[in-house]
Amino acid sequence: MTTPYRSPWMTEELDTFRDQFRRFLAKELAPRAEKWRQDKIVDRVAWRALGDIGALLPSVPEAYGGQGTSFAYDAAVIEDLENVVSELATGYSVHSTIAALTSCATAPKNRSSAGCQSSRPVSGSVRSR
């Protein structure tokens, strides 16, 4: 019998996070997915719930309102969203792994911004406020 593939970036801590996150998705968000499909939009409550449990921008440093985890957490959230509530996967990918992290990396230090290069936290983005 072959052992299932396990990515080298997976840790026991990440496994624990994913188990909790999958239960949250199945209980709190998956039951509402049909309405999102009908309305052609994911409601704000879903985004706030993701922020409240720490799933938005988890790899943003704690000093800026994030969890301070590795990008493995972003990847795990995307994979679990795709498998459990695919309606959120694309929007999450754009919000948490493209727009926010790009602004963190490219914001000039001498310009006021909500990005990680400024002294202001991005906690509103992290918590979807």
Average pLDDT of the chain? 81
Query: Do 25 and 84 meet the contact criterion of CB atoms below 8 Å apart?
Result: yes
**What is 12-107+114-126's CATH topology?**
Butyryl-Coa Dehydrogenase, subunit A; domain 1 (1.10.540)
Residue that wins the pLDDT comparison between 102 and 10: 10
CA angle 101, 107, 109 (to 5 degrees): 130
Q: How is the chain split into domains, by residue range?
A: 12-107+114-126
Give the sign of the dihedral formed by CA 67, CA 70, CA 74, CA 79.
negative
State mean pLDDT over 10-28: 95
Average pLDDT of span 20-33: 96
Instruction: Give the Cα separation of 82 and 92 in Å (integer).
Output: 10
**Residue 126 vs residue 2, higher pLDDT:** 2
